[in-house]
Amino acid sequence: MLVIRPIREDDYASLYKIACESGIGFTSLPVNEELLRSKITRAVRSFSRRAHKPGPESYLMVMEDTSTGEVVGTCGIEACVGLTDAFYHYHVGKVVHSSRELKVHNTVETLTLCNDYTGSAELCTLFLRESHRRGLAGRLLSRSRMLLMAEHPELFGSPVIAEMRGVSDEHGRSPFWQWLEQHFFSMDFPTADYLTGIGQKVFIAELMPKYPIYVNLLSEAAQDVIGKVHEKTQPALQLLKTEGFRCKGYVDIFDAGPTVEAELSQIRSVRNSQRRHLLIVDEVEVAEAEDFMIANTQLANYRCALAKAKLDDETGAVLLTAEAADVLCVKQGDPLRVLAVK
């Protein structure tokens, strides 16, 4: 059985392995022992203390295969970005150059550096290992974050955003960054990506163009990838679109991948999830049941898993086996948050 839980200090080796597998462009997991240990410590502290409003908390979780104890994926939520470090994006806008006398009217796209998403919650660090990219594992990993937010909405900023990995080749070369590198940075994309991942962002403010960039002045290759995602990111983007996330014209400053957003209360899984109480039953009683994503309502001991279950609308109960209840760390009568897979 696959279960999502808060990361622990002893998960470091697994997280390091995932960081190595995720590759260049996966900024939130740089291959750096000090930073990864710091991320784990910060997450452990965030889950253990009960915040009363959106703040600098980071809720990093892992997917564990309970049959082997192996960590096979990770996902996270930043409760409120931009509070301690500047949070940069490019906003895609337009300017019009028009002359009535000459009968010339040209509309040109621009990229303007901004911090518009400061204070937003961010879905981040989503990675599922190749061995488990099948069935509903990817959906469970992504939506487990939404069930956590549905249960504890007061902990998260608004809107909820997700930065999607932009286009780069197998060597980590980004067409968009290559243009910026040539004219402003003099460092390759993997280096810039790594520095950002370890929190060294001062160079962005120091070297990034201070004025809007006219898109038609970029190389053709750079123009072609603005707002597009890496081929391996397509499934994650599609899932977020089904949840109601949309791009509002913001792209990443390094690879020009799109940032999508949604109001927390309007996310499909948040709206459709239900609060139920647990009724433990024999396995026979749920043999013909449907698949549900089910999460407990705790924070420090959060669990989310995929299980066969039945809903009793008369009593407001969700019928689960004792095995599933154990995985979710709940007992008879405890509250649960339930989301139908279909």
Which residues participate in catalysis according to the annotation?
230
SS3 for 159-220, per residue? CEEEECCECCCCCCCCHHHHHHHHHHHCCCHHHHHHHHHCCCCHHHHHHCCCCCEEHHHCCH
Q: Is the Cα dihedral 268, 227, 81, 199 positive or negative?
A: positive
CA angle in degrees (0–180, nearest 5) for 1-237-270: 65
- Structure tokens that stand for 197 in this block: 């991942």
- Structure tokens that stand for 38 in this block: 């710091």
Q: Is the backbone of residue 317 left (phi > 0), alpha (psi -120 to 50) or beta?
A: beta
Place of tokens 């089910």: 294
CA pair distance 91, 112, nearest whole angstrom: 5
